[in-house]
Structure 1
């Protein structure tokens, strides 16, 4: 079955996992421009993209809006509930979903999806359980690495989880 939807964690996946605060206590995050362009390429290929994050941040909401990501679930301590809502909304089976995570809270979803990915900077327990580990770290182009892989695999029509 083809991958039809990519789910992303945020802290440690779309970012390097560092939390920055300005002198007024406002959170600041850095996002890779390469990841953002990759998300646009994936959307152009008619593959959905969503975010499920354990933390809440106005910066993430802003970045998601900028990228046209409509399925954004923040403050999700129960990531499975958010996942089930996204699956139902888009009529997806587990096999059609890829998920990129980096920490223990992501393991439940990583065990369910059709293609599970950890970033290179993920904790070891996560890296040991996924289908694939990126070469790049979170916030440093890991999301784009995954997107390029998915798009290439689906274009080549090889017998992979993407064809």
Structure 2
């Protein structure tokens, strides 16, 4: 089918449709491919054509809904920016950030406390073990101080003998 035959059938090119109705040819082609607008592929599936009636139908339907796709996207982006930049929204956001900062600070302090207590306990246990190992005892036989290498129950007997 040649372009003359298509024009007789009422089809117009996307370029002509864009000039008449104010949309870009790419957008009109996208509407045709999505099925929102009546159209036809010509020239061995290279180009698209549509009818003025289909374009007018689409425009009437778009006016009934009140917003086009571009307007909907712009509205949601505008609403998002308005919410983020709104004074109340930014005030709530700043309060939330302060609360999160305080909670994290408290958590870090609690963690530091428990780690300090555990480290202190470990250091005390090591000091006690070293003290017991290096404590000299007095031998009852010759009166000299010698380190005790005996087992723990025997040490307790020696310490109890010294306390008497």
TM-score w.r.t. the length of structure 1 is 0.24
Q: Of Structure 1 and Structure 2, which has the larger fraction of its residues in helix?
A: 2
TM-score w.r.t. the length of structure 2 is 0.24
Greater Rg over alpha carbons, structure: 2
Q: Of Structure 1 and Structure 2, which has the larger fraction of its residues in strand?
A: 1
